[in-house]
């Protein structure tokens, strides 16, 4: 088993270090140039749309709820621990590259989520869609959609959820001395209550949970920054000098600085990797680009805001230079050094919100893809039970092998999605052009499939 795990780890390093990063960077840059850096030009529009209400009917869920589901999934313990690891390995300069990649990733997210909206389907009183759906409807390759659905259902709904629950149980055991089994039982029961309630209940929970967890963490970060306001100019200078200065170049660390920033940015916000489109497709909007813009804002929120909070807290404390601690412990020690012992309890609470929100967000990605494979209530019930069991299992065991396996599945899943959106991007570009022309005419954009020649199999947008 150990040899197999090592082999999978080696494949992961090759896949993530070369193939995925090259695809994500190349496509993100191309999309940005092709759209005239719409992610910069339309920032104000993104915030306006986030607060808007559904403009077509009472079907589906709101843009804000879909936004919260995707944020719930991608904002997890990695925002607390992953950034710390990136700074320890790559230095403060990794933060700059994290920001840059988030900017590029916003456009990738806009494209994939716009496609998810274009090819979504009606399912009772709500919508569903995502990469599997546009692989089938646009590429006419259902087998690709089935493979993608299997990969994302296992990776997010089962393995990633067990890892999140493991982190949560470990944090509570350390902070309060609570047995991890008891934490697992409680978490499994609460998870079951929510996911058996369907997408509407998941959306309502995410709508409450995400703002609370994000705002609380951001406020503590702001307090720490204000408390150390005189240090901010030197910290910003440190970030930029470490990103471009002679010291990392002379020390042969320049590549490490860039790679750590790129990895943290890309794999934190998941832009272009095929997860967020599953949430984006659920919202009821009058134009696909509206939700695409909202989801692009999710990339900004995850990386530029929340990950930056962690980065500034760590850089202010200067604890990363010792090399004695890393990951979540480094973030925890940094906050404790600034706010006192209650900071340890605060981090435990943050992990509770971050990890649990990820559990329900990850589950929904699995649900919509299970329904793509076969719309059968019995299959869905079996999957829900499996999710609850994996949440409990994750709390009481170590998961190095399944974590490596999940990384491999996620890499394959992301590669499939990136190659697909590269082919279908022309339809997203056409939708963006249609959206911009309507806005310039003073209209509230409304989409019709007939406005884009060659666009077919768009059941929710037929005239």
- What span, in angstroms and rounded, lies between the C-alpha atoms of 329 and 138? 46
The mean pLDDT of 412-422, rounded to a whole number, is: 89
Q: Which of 342, 424, 358 is nearest to 391 (CA)?
A: 358
Half-sphere exposure of 270 (CA within 13 A, CB side): 29
> Cα(312)–Cα(319) distance, rounded to whole angstroms?
12
Establish if 173 belongs to a structural domain.
no
pLDDT of 283 higher than 80? yes
Amino acid 251: pLDDT: 42
Say if 38 falls within a structural domain: yes
The three-point CA angle 26-308-237 to 5° equals 90
For 140, the 3-state DSSP assignment is coil
- 191-211 pLDDT per residue, tens: 888 777 766 666 666 667 667
**What count of other Cβ atoms lies within 10 Å of the Cβ of residue 236?**
15
Q: Which range among 85-94, 248-257, 300-309, 313-322 shows the weakest confidence by mean pLDDT?
A: 248-257
**pLDDT at residue 249, as a whole number:** 46
Residues 6+ apart with CB under 8 A from 228: 316, 338
Question: Under a CB-based contact definition with an 8 Å cutoff, are residues 314 and 281 in contact?
Answer: no
The answer as to whether 294 is a domain residue is yes
Is 327 part of any domain? yes
Q: Which residue has the higher pLDDT, 320 or 412?
A: 412
**Helix or strand or coil: residue 122?**
strand
Closest CA to 371 of 122, 149, 117, 112: 149
Query: For 308-346, what is each residue's pLDDT tens digit?
Result: 888 888 888 776 666 665 566 677 777 777 777 777 777
**354 close to 83: Cβ distance less than 8 angstroms:** no
Phi/psi at 390 (5° precision): -70, -35
Is the pLDDT assigned to residue 434 strictly greater than 90?
A: yes
Q: How far apart are CA 194 and CA 202, in angstroms?
A: 6
pLDDT at site 459: 83
Tell me: pLDDT of 118 over 80.
yes
What whole-number distance in Å separates Cα of residue 160 and Cα of residue 154? 8
Helices marked H in 340-376 — which ranges?
A: 342-373
Q: What is the pLDDT of residue 188?
A: 84
262-269 mean pLDDT: 60
Q: How confident is the model at residue 254 (pLDDT cuts 50, 70, 90)?
A: very low
In degrees, rounded to 5, the angle at the alpha carbon of residue 60 between the alpha carbons of residues 57 and 64 is 100
pLDDT tens by residue, 67-83: 776 766 666 666 666 67
Q: Within the chain, what is the greatest distance between any pair of CA atoms?
A: 63
pLDDT band at 252 (very low <50, low <70, confident <90, very high): very low
Residue 380 counted as domain residue: no
Give bridge partners of residue 121 from the DSSP assignment. Answer: 128
144 vs 350, which has greater pLDDT? 144
- Separation CA 91–CA 165 (nearest Å): 29
Q: Strands 126-128 and 121-123, how do they pair?
A: antiparallel
Which residues have C-beta within 8 Å of that of residue 185, sequence separation ≥ 6? Answer: 392
Q: Is the pLDDT of residue 386 over 80?
A: yes
The values of phi and psi at residue 286, to 5°, are: -85, -15
The pLDDT of 76-98, averaged and rounded, is 73
Measured from the Cβ of residue 426, the count of other Cβ atoms closer than 10 Å reads 13
In the chain, what percentage of residues exceed pLDDT 70? 77
Residue 386 domain-assigned?
A: no
Average pLDDT score, the chain: 79
Domain for residue 331, yes or no?
yes
Instruction: Note the pLDDT of residue 131.
Output: 93
Token readout for 411 is 């890499």
Q: Given pLDDT bands bounded at 50, 70 and 90, which one contains residue 110?
A: very high
pLDDT tens per residue across span 141-188 = 999 999 999 989 888 888 888 877 777 777 677 667 777 788 788 888
Quick check: 195 and 202 in contact, CB under 8 A? Answer: yes
Average pLDDT over residues 120-129: 82
Task: Name the band, by pLDDT with cuts 50, 70 and 90, for residue 248.
Answer: very low
Give 231's pLDDT tier (boundaries 50, 70, 90).
confident
Residues 6+ apart with CB under 8 A from 417: 112, 131, 148, 272, 273, 274, 277
With respect to residue 160, please indicate whether it lies within any of the assigned structural domains. no
- Give the H or E element holding residue 65: helix 63-74
Report whether 72 contacts 357 (CB < 8 A).
yes
| pLDDT of 244 strictly over 80 | no
Number of domains in the chain: 1
Domain containing residue 97: 8-53+68-153+201-335+399-451
């Amino acid at each position: 088993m150990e040899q197999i795990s090592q082999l999978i780890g080696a494949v992961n390093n090759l896949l993530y270090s070369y193939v995925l990063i090259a695809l994500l960077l190349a496509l993100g840059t191309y999309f940005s140039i092709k759209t005239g850096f719409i992610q910069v030009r339309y920032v104000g529009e993104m915030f306006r749309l986030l607060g808007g209400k559904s403009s077509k009917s009472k079907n589906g869920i709101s843009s804000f709820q879909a936004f919260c589901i995707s944020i719930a999934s991608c904002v997890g313990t990695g925002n607390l621990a992953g950034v710390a690891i990136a700074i320890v390995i790559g230095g403060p300069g990794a933060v700059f590259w994290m920001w840059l990649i988030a900017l590029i990733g916003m456009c990738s997210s806009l494209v994939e989520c716009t496609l998810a909206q274009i090819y979504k389907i009606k399912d009772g009183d709500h919508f569903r869609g995502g990469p599997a759906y546009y692989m089938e409807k646009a590429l006419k390759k259902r087998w690709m959609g089935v493979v993608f659905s299997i990969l994302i259902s296992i990776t997010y709904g089962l393995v990633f959820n067990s890892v999140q629950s493991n982190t949560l149980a470990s944090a509570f055991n350390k902070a309060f001395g609570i047995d991890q089994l008891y934490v697992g039982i409680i978490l499994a029961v609460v998870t079951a209550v929510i996911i058996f309630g369907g997408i509407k209940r998941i959306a309502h929970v995410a709508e409450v949970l995400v703002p609370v967890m994000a705002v609380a963490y951001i406020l503590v970060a702001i307090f720490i920054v204000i408390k150390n306001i005189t240090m901010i100019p030197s910290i910003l200078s440190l970030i930029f000098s470490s990103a471009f200065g002679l010291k990392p170049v002379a020390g042969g660390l320049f590549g490490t600085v860039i790679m750590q920033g790129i990895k943290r940015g890309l794999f934190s916000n998941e832009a272009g990797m095929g997860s967020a489109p599953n949430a984006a497709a659920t919202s009821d909007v009058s134009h696909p680009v509206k939700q695409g813009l909202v989801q692009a804002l999710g990339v900004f929120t995850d990386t530029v805001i929340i990950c930056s909070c962690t980065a500034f807290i760590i850089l202010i404390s200067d604890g990363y230079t010792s090399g004695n601690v890393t990951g979540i412990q480094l973030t925890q020690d940094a906050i404790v050094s600034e706010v006192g012992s209650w900071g340890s309890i605060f981090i435990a609470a943050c992990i509770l919100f971050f990890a649990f929100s990820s559990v329900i967000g990850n589950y929904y990605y699995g649900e919509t893809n299970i329904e793509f494979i076969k719309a059968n209530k019995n299959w869905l019930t079996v999957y829900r039970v499996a999710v609850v069991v994996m949440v409990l299992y994750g709390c009481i065991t170590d998961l190095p092998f399944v974590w490596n396996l999940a990384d491999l599945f996620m890499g394959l899943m992301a590669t499939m999605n990136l190659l697909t959106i590269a082919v279908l991007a022309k339809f997203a570009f056409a939708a963006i052009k249609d959206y911009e022309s309507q806005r310039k005419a003073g209209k509230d954009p409304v989409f019709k499939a007939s406005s884009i020649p060659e666009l077919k199999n768009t059941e929710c947008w037929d005239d």
